[in-house]
Structure 1
Amino acid sequence: MELFFTGQVIEWRGPSPYYFVAVPDEQSADIREVAVTATYGWGVIPVEARIGGSVFTTSLFPRDGRYLLPLKTAVRKPQSLSAGDEVSVEMTIRL
């Protein structure tokens, strides 16, 4: 399943900061339809994503009926991304 969306980089403060892009409601609903076959536990969904020139694998986290796409430092730094930036995401659910 391939998805395309635009979202804002958000910072989640904790013991160390984490950065995410929230998957919009429409695409989150599409993901929920395949979640049972895609998840490998705890509701996380494995994906391959592209932001700009960075392609990476990670897992979506379920949160409040939507999903959060984690942004690793290895993705944020080359793209000069920080909290509040708007990004375009291409993403494939790894079934």
Structure 2
Amino acid sequence: MTTSYTFRSELWLYPGEAGWHFITLPLDVADEIRETTALLRKGFGSVRVTAGVGGHEWQTSLFPDAKSGSYLLPVKKTVRTAARLSTGDKVEVRLTVEGDT
């Protein structure tokens, strides 16, 4: 069985020189992913996913965030450019957990 999630959340820029952009998962989604992926998590508690925004999909990992108690979804520049996303945009996200059976 494949587990997929759809939600809306804001695209934000991590402060600093690197310019990483993230979307923080809603807590209810993060809690469910945390519960269902205990055996799938990799180093640092990351979870492999296929993510989709604005009609564009890519494979990446979710990373646990102690500050928010959620997971962070990194959104690379090629995806932001193709989907015409900017910092502060509310984004509809679709996630599929990789390796979920």
Same fold (TM over 0.5): yes
Q: Could you tell me how far 1:74 is from its partner in structure 2?
A: 1.1
Number of equivalent positions:
95
**Is there any run of 5+ residues in structure 1 with no aligned partner, and where?**
none
CA distance in 2, matches of 1:43, 1:14: 23
CA distance in 2, matches of 1:8, 1:54: 17
The more displaced of 33-42 and 82-91 is: 33-42
Paired position in structure 2 for 1:44: 46
CA distance in 2, matches of 1:42, 1:63: 10
**Is there any run of 5+ residues in structure 2 with no aligned partner, and where?**
none
CA RMSD of aligned residues (A): 1.0
CA distance in 2, matches of 1:22, 1:70: 9
Misfit runs of 4+, over 2 Å: none
1:86 aligns with 2:90: yes
Q: Could you tell me how far 1:60 is from its partner in structure 2?
A: 0.4
Bigger strand share: 1
**TM superposition score normalised by structure 1:** 0.94
SS in 2 for 1:38: coil
**TM superposition score normalised by structure 2:** 0.89
Cα deviations by residue, 1:1-40 (Å, 9 ceiling, x for unpaired): 1111100001002231100111001100101102322212
Cα deviations by residue, 1:54-86 (Å, 9 ceiling, x for unpaired): 110000010032001000011100111111000
Paired position in structure 2 for 1:17: 19
